[in-house]
Structures are given as C-alpha cells and as structure tokens.
Amino acid sequence: MALPIYASPLERVWYYTFRGICAAIFLFLIAPILVVIPLSFNADSFFTFSKGMLELDPVAYSLKWYDLILTFPDVPTGLPRDAAWWSIVWHHAAWVLAAKNSVIIGFFATIIATVLGTLAALGLSRPDMPYRKAITAILISPMIVPVIIITLGLFFFYSDIEVNKWGVPYLGVILAHATLGIPFVIITVTATLSGFDHSLTRASASLGASPSTTFFKVIMPLITPGMVSGALFAFVTSFDEVVVVLFVGRNDEQTIPRQMWNGIREQISPAILSVATILVVISIGLLASVEILRRRSERLRGMSPQ
C-alpha cells in the first residue's frame, strides 16, 4: 500500500510512524531468537556480550560450548578425536543420548499421529460423516486442553495400568506425544482436503479403479503435502514437549527439552545456548520445508500461486 497522493501531512507522518512501530514489533518477535546465536560463541561463561565480542576480537569467540555438548558430563577431553572417542561420545554424552531419545520418541509419535490422523481427516471430510462437529471437537481438544491437565491425567492413568512395567521403552511418552500431535495432523490434512475435487475419485472409479487404487494413485498424491506438513508439526510438538516427559517419563528417558529444562533450573550454562542455536537452525529448516510444501500443495490443487 503506497501512500496516496492526497494524504495530508499528518497522514504522512502517521504512515512512517506506523511502519516504524511495525518494524519495532518485528524486532521484538525475531531478536530474542537471534540473540542466542552470537552468545553461544562466547568465550566467557557470561550471558551478555563481552567487550571483546563487541569489538569483534577473535579471541572473545570460541566453540568451547559446542564442545561441551559433546563431552558433558564425563567424556574425556584430552584424547585424540578418533573413531573410538566418537564412539564414547555416542554412548555417553548426555546431550547426544537426549537427542537420540528425542528422535526415537518423536519418530514413533509422528508415525502414529500421521497414520491415524490422516485416516480420520479423510473420514471427517466425507459429506456422510455422522456427528462430524462433535467428533472433530473431541479430536482437536488435545491442542486446547492445557498440557498440565493432560499430564496429570496420564500420571494417574499410567500409574494405574503401570505402563512402565510393560517392558516397552518410551511407550507412555510416545502415546502421549502422539495424542498431542494428532490435532495438527487433522487440521493440516483437512485443510488440504477442503479444496479437494471429489469428482476425481468418481472419475477414477468410473475408469475401473478399485477403492485402494483410487486412494494410492489419486488421493494420496494430492494430500501428501498436507500429510507431510502435519507430520512435521507433530514431530516438532513431540520434539519440543517437556511437561509429559517430566511427569510420566522414566528417569533414563531424558530428551533434549528435558535436559534443557534441567539445565535452566539448575545452572544455566552457555552450553544451553549452543543447543538453542542448533535448535533454531533446525527450526529454520523446518519452516522452509513447510513453506515449500504449502506452495506445492496450492499448485497441485490448482489454487492461485501466492
């Protein structure tokens, strides 16, 4: 929106003030996320920019906090960094173990959420679905009900059925994370299906395709972008979740957010900022992939390219 030619001087002033205000709000949104990146290279163990950092003195910058991620808590630091050392890191470094747990839990939670959520979204988008509104409300509610209440319920429920004694590692946390991720899958897949042309399935059936062929050859390719971005949402939800893990996870089920939580509560060290930086980089990657998927979906469905 350019400034119209008839704008009065006051409006001109307001136009630029408004832009300034918006710039300040954008700064408020983005600065806190970017500020951790330079601080994670701090050579001192402070949480503010040292004098040397501001003067761009190379000595004030270091990678030692990234090194600490690999060596915390009891990986020897003096050894040469050969295959044997990396094997020790892989099996003993707390952050590496936490990352492995996070990925395992996130992977299985995402699979469950995506498969069940996609099927349900297909059912919900059919015109014949009975009680659609009520069922949708129930299926979306894990996103609305505070996590602490869900966690409290799971805490009672899991101690009743003693899920920790079933011998399946991570089971309780995986089921809980799948539940939390399901609303995102339903929302994204339903959104993809909202522009779905049902005459395509009829055309496919009239040309002799069985229902399963129609699903895999016609429906699936069209809803894949929605499914994948739903899956990404579900994965991020699990990857970022800490309350359930804290309350119902066993002690050895440390994940990255739980490790960060402990770190912040006890002694906040710049190593947390290095982890945060890595997570920011990952989230930039995720954002980019979801954006690409959204555009692809719009193109596939013949919606105006935005």
Partner 1 sequence: MASIEAAGILTTADGRPLKEALAIAQRRAKWRAFWLVAPLLAFILITFVSPILQVLHQSVYNPRFSDNMPGISVWFGSHPVGTVPDEAAYVILVDDLKAAAEAKTVAIAGERVNFARPGSRSLFTKAGRDAKSLMPPLKDSLVALDPAWGDPELWGVMRQVSQAYTIDFFLNALDMRRDKDGHIVAAPVEEQVYVTLFVRTFAMSALITALCLILGYPVAHLLAVLPVRTSNLLMILVLLPFWTSLLVRTTSWIVLLQGQGVVNSILVALGILADNGRLEMINNRMGTTIAMTHILLPFMILPLYSVMRPIPQTYVRAARSLGATSWTAFRRVYFPQTIPGIGAGTLLVFILSVGYYITPALVGGSSGTLISNMIAFHVNKSNNWSLAAALATILLVAILALYWLYDKIVGIDKLKLG
Site for partner 1 in 192-251 (CB under 8 A): 229, 233, 236, 239-240, 242-243, 247
- Return the DSSP state at 89: H
For residues 249, 65, 48 and 267, what is the CA-based torsion angle, rounded to 10 degrees? 40
**Taking CB under 8 A as the rule, does residue 290 contact partner 1?**
yes
Near partner 1 by CB under 8 A, which window of 25-33, 62-70, 79-87, 92-100?
25-33
> Could you say which residues in the range 265-284 bind partner 1, by CB under 8 A?
265, 268, 272-273, 276, 279-280, 283-284
Residue among 71 and 255 whose Cβ is closer to partner 1: 255
In sequence order, what are the residues at sequence separation of 6 or more whose Cβ sits closer than 8 angstroms to the Cβ of residue 73?
94
Report residue 257: phi and psi, to 5°.
Answer: -60, -35
**Taking CB under 8 A as the rule, does residue 103 contact partner 1?**
no
What minimum distance in Å lies between the beta carbon of 94 and partner 1? 16
What minimum distance in Å lies between the beta carbon of 84 and partner 1? 32
- Label residue 48 exposed, middle or buried (CB < 10 Å: 0-12, 13-18, 19+): exposed
Q: Figure out which of the listed residues 69, 154, 173, 223 binds partner 1, where binding follows CB under 8 A.
A: 154
| CB-based contact 196:301 (threshold 8 Å) | yes
Does residue 211 sit in helix, strand or coil?
helix
Residue among 7 and 79 whose Cβ is closer to partner 1: 7
**Taking CB under 8 A as the rule, does residue 130 contact partner 1?**
yes
Give the helix, strand, coil percentages of the chain, each rounded to 5.
75, 0, 25
Burial string for 250-285 (b: 16+ CB within 10 Å, else e) reads eeebbbbbbbbbbbeeeeeebbbbbbbbbbeeeeee
> Could you say which residues in the range 40-59 bind partner 1, by CB under 8 A?
46-49
Q: Figure out which of the listed residues 43, 70, 99, 176 binds partner 1, where binding follows CB under 8 A.
A: 176
Near partner 1 by CB under 8 A, which window of 29-37, 60-68, 74-82, 87-95?
29-37
How many residues line the site for partner 1 (CB under 8 A)?
95
